[in-house]
Amino acid sequence: MKLFGWTSGREESRPVLSRGVATYGVGAALREGFGPPSYDAQVREGYARNPVVQRAVRLVMEALGSAPLVASHAELIALATGRSGGQVLIEAAAAHLLLHGNAYIQVLRDTGGNVAELYALRPERVSVELDAGGWPAAYRYKVGERTTRLTGDAVRPEVVHLRFFNPIDDHYGLGCLGAAAGAVAIHNAAGEWNKALLDNAARPSGALVYDPGDGSTLAPDQFQRLRAEMDASFSGGANAGRPMLLEGGLKWQALGLSPADMDFAGTRAAAAREIALAFGVPPMLLGQPGDATYANYKEANRALWRQAILPLAGTILTGLAQGLNGWFEGATLAVDLNAVPALAEDRATLWRSVTAADFLTAQEKRQMVGLEAGEGA
């Protein structure tokens, strides 16, 4: 996580950062042959067209968007859960981080300079403007030919930049969609192949044998013409299983390796599990049974909260609180763990352990379960 501006230490004590324009999120993680290079194209292929990716992202973002919050200032909860332009802020920020690796929260102010709204900018439209030392000086938000420059302030920034860790970039985070790009491509391709087979009566591949009965062979020009016709009409996934009309001693011989033998269903299931791994979602919650790591649905749901939702909530909510600290001194914002149904069993176990600890004072027990000290404690 990175916030706009530098808030500690002397100006000359800052380390020099890279001034190179590094690729953001998805594009940096792609391998040749595994999907389109641009973020827009990746979202269309990986999110809009792939049900596993879409369900994984929505599971996390919607659960986080509906999570109960606690804050040091009531206004913080209203800002974090409010809608701006129809957008649900926390859900949008969570989706941007998961897919792109970056979330840019614009702080919209009223005439008095106070925070009026928070809005998550589309991350692929934002670029970082660097100073001589490689540190952010401003953010540029570009839509078409129009560019808006959002200046920074160490105390009251116009933009709060949240990002996932990226080991090879000083300014842009690394999203999950790039890591899942190979599995997404396999999952989509397997689906397209199966559809092509169904469209062509599900006929398997085979070999075209020339056997006129007199021992003769095809002339070179005949062979080249037949090969060109085969490549044009019967090669590729779109032509899978397409029937052909044979003449002149040609006959079709099915090969032993059919799509059933290649187990496309198993390939898609393995790709789906890899996608789930990239986004931190238990495969069971995505309709992928057979994962022995989670004994049942309740355990998988609890793992989703512990391993995916709460770490992402910490990145977003802590970053927002720090970015808004100039308006709300001592700002804190977090998920109310006591009010999350999926974590009720964990909290009950903690309460039993703390209650049984006779060597702790009442105040220490309240602090351990996340409660303020009571009167007379």
Contacts of 266 (CB under 8 A, 6+ apart): none
Contact (Cβ atoms closer than 8 angstroms) between residue 103 and residue 97: yes
Q: In what order do the strands lie in the sheet with 115-121?
A: 115-121, 102-109, 159-163
Q: What single letter denotes the amino acid at residue 46?
A: G
| Distance (Å, whole) CA 300 – CA 298 | 5
pLDDT score for 373: 62
Q: Please state the separation of Cα 198 from the chain's center in Å.
A: 31
| Distance (Å, whole) CA 232 – CA 275 | 34
For every one of its 377 residues, what pLDDT tens digit does the chain have, with 9 covering 90 and above?
Answer: 444 444 444 455 667 777 654 444 444 433 344 444 688 888 998 999 999 999 999 999 999 999 999 999 999 999 999 888 888 999 999 999 999 999 999 999 999 999 999 999 999 999 998 888 888 888 999 999 999 999 777 789 999 999 999 998 888 999 999 889 889 998 888 888 777 766 655 555 566 666 666 666 667 777 677 667 766 666 555 655 555 555 556 666 665 545 555 567 788 888 999 999 999 999 888 887 666 555 688 888 999 999 999 999 999 999 999 999 999 999 999 999 889 988 888 888 888 888 888 888 888 888 787 777 654 44
Intra-chain end-to-end CA distance of the chain, in Å? 37
Contacts of 12 (CB under 8 A, 6+ apart): none
- Token pair belonging to 217: 């062979």
Strand-strand pairing, 102-109 and 159-163: antiparallel
- Token pair belonging to 153: 């302030």
In this structure, which long-range contacts are made by residues 84-93, counting pairs with CB atoms below 8 Å and at least 24 apart in sequence? 84/108, 84/117, 84/118, 84/119, 85/119, 87/119, 87/120, 89/118, 89/119, 89/120, 90/61, 90/64, 90/65, 90/316, 90/317, 91/61, 91/62, 91/64, 91/65, 92/61, 92/120, 93/120, 93/162, 93/316
Contacts of 94 (CB under 8 A, 6+ apart): 60, 61, 64, 65, 103, 312, 316
Q: What pTM value is reported for the model?
A: 0.78
pLDDT score for 353: 86
φ and ψ of 238, to 5 deg = -65, -25
Q: Which residues pair with 143 in a beta bridge?
A: 146
Contacts of 341 (CB under 8 A, 6+ apart): none
DSSP state of 238: G
pLDDT score for 27: 40
User: Can you say whether residue 9 is alpha, beta or left, with left for phi > 0 and alpha for psi between -120 and 50 degrees?
Assistant: left
pLDDT score for 11: 56
- Token pair belonging to 39: 């973020």
From 165, 163, 151, select the one nearest 318 (Cα to Cα): 163
Q: Would you tell me the crossing angle of helices 297-304 and 51-65 to the nearest 10 degrees?
A: 70
